[in-house]
Amino acid sequence: MSGYLLLRGLGRGNTSRVYLAEKVALAAPTPTGTAPTSHAPTPSVAVRAGTRVALKVPLPATLADQGAAERFANEVRLTLQFRHPHLVAGLDGTAFGPGTFLAMHHYQGGTLARQLSQGPLSLNAALQVLADVASGMAYLHRAGAVHQDVKTQNVYLEEGEVAGVHRAALGDFGSTYFEAQGGQVSGSPFYMAPEVYQGEMTGPPSDVYSFGVLAYELLSGERPHLGDSYESLMVSHLTHFAPPLNIGGLPRNLARLLETALAKRPGDRPPSARLRRALLESLGHPDEAQPEFETQTGTTERAASGTASGTDRSSVGRHGPDASVQRSAKQTGALPSPASPPQPASAKRGWNPFKKK
C-alpha cells in the first residue's frame, strides 16, 4: 500500500475498509534490474502522483481467514483485469500478503444504495443507470464470467453531463468466477435467484435475475421480494410473483422484459445483451459496441480465461450498510444471517450459504 496517502474514510464493512487516498511520488524509485517480489503491486495502469483513488484495504481478520483472503485476492485480480466503461475501474493493487490493497477509480456519487436512501431517481436517470449496469453485466457474460452479486450496493455512480443523471459502474468482483473454470456459489439473499436458494450452480441467468430485482427496486421504490429472515425470503423468491411494473412513462414492452428477468426458471429469462439493447433503445441511444475481454496485460480474448478465484460508514459495495433497506418500513426487519464461506457447487440441494451453523 506504499505510495498512497490516506485522506479520509469512505466506508467500513465486515471484511475491509475503504479510504479516499492520494497517490504520492515515492522517495526513491526501485533500482533497475531489481526482481519484483511475490507481493509487489501489479498496477494495470500508471497512476500519476496526485491522483485520488478509492483505496480498499482488508481487515486483519480477513487476511487471517484463508477463504476471505482468497476472495479479496480474487477481487483485486479481476478488478485490475476487466476493462469496460461500466465496470469499476481498477488502477493498482496487490492480491496477497500483508500489503494487500486495491486502488480503484473514486466514484464521487457513491453507491446506488446510498443514492436511493436520499430519494428516488427520475425515470430517465433510472433507465440510464440500468442501461449502464446491463452493459457492464453483458460484457462479463460475453467474457464467460458470472458476477454473482448484482445489487444496489455494488453499483457506483458519478454525475453525467446532464444534471441529475448519473453514469453507473458495476463493481465488487470478490465472488465473480469464469464458467470455464468453475467457482463457488454465492449471492445476497434479497437479490438471489431461485436456483441459488435451491443449492444449484449460478450462471448468467442468475445475474439477470439479480438485475431484475435491482431494476424493480430502482423503478418502483420497493424490492419485489421482502422478508425479515432467510427462510421467508426463500419462500418469496421460490413461490411468489412480483406485481407488474406499472410505472408512468415506462414503455410496456420494456416493463414486460424486465418482469421476465424475474422468471423462476433460468431458461425463461432474457440474456443480458437483450436487456442492454432494450434499455438503450428506450433512451434513444444506439447500442454500445461491446469491447473485447481485455486482460491485465493488454491482450484481448473472446472466451473466458485468466484467474478468478470514527469512519464514515456510507455504503461501499457489499461492505457498507444496506441503505435502501432502511428507507422503507417494510424492509427494516432483521436481515438474513451474513454469508458463510461459499460452498462447492456439488453441495446438496437445499444448501443454505447464509445460515449460521
Q: Give the three cell numbers for residue 70.
A: 482468497
**Residue 312 bears catalytic tag:** no
Active-site position among 132, 149, 172, 322: 149
Query: Alpha-carbon torsion 186, 318, 17, 99, what sign?
Result: positive
Report the residue count for the chain: 357
Q: Note whether 163 and 124 are within 8 A (CB).
A: no
Strand runs (DSSP E) across 171-326, as ranges? 177-178, 293-294, 300-301
- Separation CA 67–CA 343 (nearest Å): 10
257 residue type, one letter: L
Q: Give the three cell numbers for residue 166.
A: 448519473
| Residue 32 CA: distances (Å) to CA of 28, 35, 49, 170, 189 | 12, 9, 20, 38, 50
Pick from 64, 159, 154, 46: nearest CA to 103: 46
92 residue type, one letter: D
Residues taking part in catalysis: 149
